[in-house]
Amino acid sequence: MCYNIDSNNHTFICSLPACSFHLAFLSLQYSGQTEGNRARILQGSSDIPLNEVGREQAQKASQVLKDVPFTAVFSSDLCRALETAQILLKGHTTCQIPIIQWPCVRERCFGVMEGKPIQEYYEASALANEKHFNYVPENGESHKEVEVRAHRFMEQLCETDVMSESSGGHGTTQPVILVTTHGGFLKGLMTVLVEKMGCDLSESSNQAYSSICQNTGITRVTFSLDANKKPVNMKCTKLYDAAHLNDG
């Protein structure tokens, strides 16, 4: 199965009833921890691997997801997200399907500020008389550009045959998709789902969708597709849940 859909990996939906959209973000704030996280370095789209803490976090997350009947697995093409996906599947009880790398779900690019301490980013934003949230370094992406990318990802996802595939070996007619991505991208995606696509957060104990997810936090979104392959009846039942990190 191969998809040439811009850049970014994200997942799932179904053609009949509701589908289960499982987002496992293990990164910066999705994939597990990296040395860049630990040292408070701005990573962005730089390809920095997990550290041992990050691998342990991913292993704990795998215990939460081990019985979920995933029918497709997508990952950012950055190695910290890909390794997170590999660890999740290694701990899975039945899922032995390939990981599809989708560059479209990679982390926000911070341009010339990547690899520098986060404090330098704050100082640069102050010199530019910008709030750090709005500051866009040279050759970097703005939050709005990430949201546009996230919106495009959802539209393209809904057009793929993953949405209409029936089982994936688990005897279910519902697509159940795992996506490992990054904190900045996930924040942009949730902003799009809530503000543009009407995602209902009422069933989630956490409703702070515009905040940044903790490393290996798990989000679950369910929705159906209408006749035009547009997502409808969308609900977020779990948002940025990292309770597994408190176990053991």
Burial (CB < 10 A; 0-12, 13-18, 19+), residue 224, is middle
What's the CA gap between 85 and 195, in Å, rounded? 28
**Contact indicator for 26, 57 with CB cutoff of 8 Å:** yes
State the helix-helix crossing angle for 183-195 and 143-159, rounded to 10 degrees.
70
Burial (CB < 10 A; 0-12, 13-18, 19+), residue 15, is middle
Tell me how crowded residue 130 is: count the other CB atoms within 10 A of its CB: 12
Q: What are phi and psi of 25, to 5 degrees?
A: -105, 115
**Contact indicator for 27, 81 with CB cutoff of 8 Å:** yes
Whole-Å CA distances, 167 to 163, 175, 197, 229: 11, 7, 26, 19
149 is in an annotated binding site: no
Q: Which residues are annotated as a binding site for substrate?
A: 80
Q: Which residues are annotated as a binding site?
A: 80
